[in-house]
């Protein structure tokens, strides 16, 4: 993290390393989608992510990060983020966000998706597809000269138009040598406000969208964030690079995400 809230501009060499680590994280996330089904535990997911991360020559950044005990976050249904993998068994109709962050040659790549377990309910589809589409709209704002506030404005406008709410307590973040660098990327905001984006910035956008209200509380494990009202919550995350012409999705996937991208036309994206 740089002092005084200054945002780091990555060099060409750093950008190449960010491309590599982000691509490896994206591959792990794609493979997780094949593992998800009713009857497995969130620990099974962690075991898979841990092994797969190491197999790609990376380290799992969450493990021992500020005392976090596992290699990924698994956030089921009303869990907003930072769910700790454990004995919880996935049931038909659940939704689960799996958030993976890899470290490779000193750089971080951070990405997450919400997956459907078995057959989803209408409510599960609504909140999950709202989260997926709101990330896409946020990403579309990313180009040199745009304002940080444009990202949050685009996300908030869409999510609220679908009757959902946007979590305030957790934000996207700059990323590079540090897991969490400046700037903080709010998922709510006002058009035309905030600092301007510049080529060479790398940061995440990771909106958490709730079916009910945006309030969250933290469980006694000091990590798990749940919706205050018990409503469903969904999240997607990409690591992005601001280019001279727009944006590169560093954690983009080459194929459709198993157990997740199963409603391709839910909201037209073009």
Task: Give the binding site for ligand MF3 (CB under 6 A).
Answer: 62, 65-66, 68, 73, 82, 99, 101, 110, 206, 237
Q: How far apart are CA 71 and CA 84, in angstroms?
A: 9
Nearer Cβ to Co ion (8/99) = 99
Q: How far apart are CA 112 and CA 97, in angstroms?
A: 7
For position 99 contacting Co ion by CB under 5 A, the verdict is: yes
For position 110 contacting Co ion by CB under 5 A, the verdict is: yes
Task: For the CB of residue 111, give the shortest distance to ligand MF3 in the complex, in Å.
Answer: 8
| 241 touches 11 (CB < 8 A) | no
Task: For the CB of residue 205, give the shortest distance to Co ion in the complex, in Å.
Answer: 9
Pick from Co ion, ligand MF3, none: which does 52 bind, CB < 5 to 8 A by kind? none
Task: For the CB of residue 65, give the shortest distance to ligand MF3 in the complex, in Å.
Answer: 4
Task: For the CB of residue 117, give the shortest distance to ligand MF3 in the complex, in Å.
Answer: 21
Considering only the stretches 27-35, 98-106, 216-224, 245-253, report the one whose residues sit in contact with Co ion under the rule CB under 5 A: 98-106
Q: How far apart are CA 28 and CA 104, in angstroms?
A: 13
User: Which residue is at the shortest CB distance from ligand MF3?
Assistant: 62
Per-position x/- string for 148-187, each x denoting binding to Co ion as judged by CB under 5 A, each - no binding = ----------------------------------------
Residues of this chain, 210-249, that bind Co ion according to CB under 5 A:
237
Here the contacts of 60-67 (C-beta below 8 Å, separation 24 or greater) are: 60/100, 60/101, 60/102, 60/103, 61/101, 61/102, 61/103, 61/108, 61/110, 61/179, 62/99, 62/101, 65/179, 67/222
| 12 touches 18 (CB < 8 A) | no
For position 74 contacting Co ion by CB under 5 A, the verdict is: no
Pick from Co ion, ligand MF3, none: which does 136 bind, CB < 5 to 8 A by kind? none
Pick from ligand MF3, Co ion, none: which does 62 bind, CB < 5 to 8 A by kind? ligand MF3
Nearer Cβ to ligand MF3 (82/147) = 82
For position 46 contacting Co ion by CB under 5 A, the verdict is: no
Nearer Cβ to ligand MF3 (120/152) = 152
Nearer Cβ to ligand MF3 (120/167) = 167
Task: For the CB of residue 2, give the shortest distance to ligand MF3 in the complex, in Å.
Answer: 18
Residues that bind Co ion (CB under 5 A): 99, 110, 112, 204, 237
């Amino acid at each position: 993290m740089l002092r005084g809230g200054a945002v780091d501009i990555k060099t060409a060499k750093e950008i190449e390393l960010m491309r590599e680590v982000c691509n490896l994280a994206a591959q792990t996330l794609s493979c997780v989608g094949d593992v998800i089904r009713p009857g497995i535990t969130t620990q099974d997911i962690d075991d898979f992510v841990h092994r797969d991360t190491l197999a790609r020559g990376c380290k799992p950044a969450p493990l021992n990060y500020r005392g976090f005990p596992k290699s990924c976050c698994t956030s089921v249904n009303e869990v907003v983020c930072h769910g700790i993998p454990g004995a919880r068994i996935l049931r038909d109709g659940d939704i689960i966000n799996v958030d993976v962050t890899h470290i490779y040659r000193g750089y971080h790549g951070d990405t997450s998706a919400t997956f459907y377990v078995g057959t989803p309910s209408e409510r599960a589809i609504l909140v999950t597809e709202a989260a997926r589409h709101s990330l896409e709209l946020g990403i579309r704002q990313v180009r040199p000269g745009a304002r940080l506030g444009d990202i949050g404005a685009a996300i908030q406008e869409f999510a609220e138009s679908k009757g959902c709410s946007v979590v305030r307590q957790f934000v996207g973040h700059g990323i590079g040598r540090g897991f969490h660098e400046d700037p903080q990327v709010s998922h709510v905001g006002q058009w035309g406000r905030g600092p301007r984006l510049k080529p060479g910035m790398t940061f995440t956008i990771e909106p958490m969208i709730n079916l009910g209200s945006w309030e969250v509380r933290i469980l006694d494990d000091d990590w798990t964030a749940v919706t205050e009202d018990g409503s469903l919550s969904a999240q997607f995350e990409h690591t992005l690079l601001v280019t001279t012409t727009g944006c590169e999705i560093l954690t983009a996937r080459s194929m459709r995400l198993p157990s997740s991208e199963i409603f391709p036309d839910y909201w037209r994206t073009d």
